[in-house]
A and B are shown apart, each in its own frame.
Chain A
């Protein structure tokens, strides 16, 4: 009798699990407004604002401070224009291609132009995404929009001081639709083929950082170095601006990583904690590395180290414990220091602001370490280094090949580089007829 009771209990649990599985949404849909979770919605809206703050003005300041004074405004204008353009493209195409089911390779057309992101007051219904059924789909789509924006803005750092403004806008627009959206679909949409294979990327180690880093490296190589690169010093305009940008990145990253839990819950809290710990460990380890190698710790080194730590913990933020986060940050600080110095010299490419050295290298490292350190107790899943390696390889290959192709297309249509005179005069004046003031 007692055994039979257990069987009944087991059967009931199985039935309830199967029924829950059968009811798990696979498409965006309309639900009753009171089924939403207010706390989750509030946190996701806050996170969206935080992630946008990372780009505007975070990346604009971070990059603007590192270029020469003759191209500061061009760098900032590039970031602002990229943010605006990608937002429109995400609304028109990107969100639907990335976050509707479609097939394993690409999403469908049901959310083109944000169609169907309904809020029906009279009917008491609201649209939700199957990937985030607790919050309005408008909030989820906006949260993901800010990721698309920052990924495009990161690439700007590899192209500064020599690429035509119009060419840069064409390239990044095409790239956002043809490279970012498909990769986001593969990794993050529940039916995406990399997601189905078990590749773990909590907040964008591969979708955002490897993707932007590899694209930056390929573009910098294709574009060629800045005039005088390797012969004359390229003095940064104002590293104080860079520090202000790095501070905004650090704070905004709480939205980036903890927001990726898509809920105001314990996992989001843990993601926030590991994010801060990894950033701190990254800053300290880069500082120590630089102190030992160069005999001086630099402000730029500290800022770069904290970003390296943040990049590395990004794919792992919802899968690892705070203890592991120290290791993620510490290793990333040192490896990315090498990436932005030793590896950069080996690659002989003017990746001007080290988009690959910090984001590419940090993203690859973080993704692989996620395979090692993902803790089943935290998330219910455990990692696999080989699966992660496969995910990294696919993103690197697709990103590199498509970026090369799109650079070629852009070159054919409008040309890539400013002329020699414009480069000497600086892009602020040659591209915008503006200057910093005296």
Chain B
């Protein structure tokens, strides 16, 4: 699933939670942090059951499914960067490859310290 699709679901849940329970959440964090998403899904379900908000439970389910799905890259960009599927010949330089893996590299970088 695309990160933007996850953000869309999280944003929907954010609006519902705010309207129906007054709870303020962080949409972007919800769409990228599984632990936080699980916390919010649990809260939404509990309040849905308590107050009878069926739509809240539905969107909590949707977020749970979305968070379980792996992140997909934008298909257009992936196709363009793959020399075999690119619409015209492209030179994939090491810089571009590093760029695609930058998220992974920075993830390792910030474990056990910021510097």
Residues of A at under 8 Å CB distance from B? 66, 69-70, 228-236, 300-301, 304, 337, 340-341, 344-345, 352-354, 357, 421, 424-426, 428-429, 433-436, 438
Contact = CB atoms under 8 A, between A and B. Distances in A.
A345 B25 contact: no
A7 B26 CA distance: 82
Interface string B94-115: 0000000000001111111111
B115 A233 contact: no
B11 interface: yes
B35 A424 contact: yes
Contact of B26 (A66, A230, A304, A435): A435
Interface in B30-49: 33, 35-36, 39
B115 A354 contact: yes
13 contacts: A233-B109, A234-B110, A235-B110, A341-B115, A345-B112, A345-B113, A421-B39, A426-B26, A426-B29, A428-B26, A429-B24, A429-B26, A438-B11
Contacts of A232: 111
Interface string B35-72: 11001000000000000000000000000000000000
B29 A69 contact: yes
B25 A429 contact: yes
A341 B113 contact: yes
Contacts, number: 71
Contact of A235 (B26, B39, B106, B113): B106
A70 B40 CA distance: 14
A24 B101 CA distance: 67
Contact of B110 (A233, A304, A357, A426): A233
Interface majority SS on B: helix, strand, loop or mixed?
Answer: helix
B114 A300 contact: yes
B28 interface: yes
Given A235-B106, A421-B39, A425-B36, A229 B24 contact: no
A233 B111 contact: yes
Interface of B: 11, 14, 24-29, 33, 35-36, 39, 106-115
A426 B39 CA distance: 11
A231 B106 CA distance: 14
Nearest to A423: B35
A353 B112 CA distance: 11
Contacts of A235: 106-107, 110
A301 B11 contact: no
Contacts of B29: 69-70, 426
Contacts of B109: 233
Given A428-B26, A438-B14, 5 more contacts: A70-B33, A229-B112, A233-B107, A233-B109, A434-B24
Contacts of A70: 26, 29, 33, 36
A229 B110 CA distance: 10
A429 B17 CA distance: 14
A301 B25 CA distance: 33
A398 to B, nearest CB: 28
Nearest to A301: B115
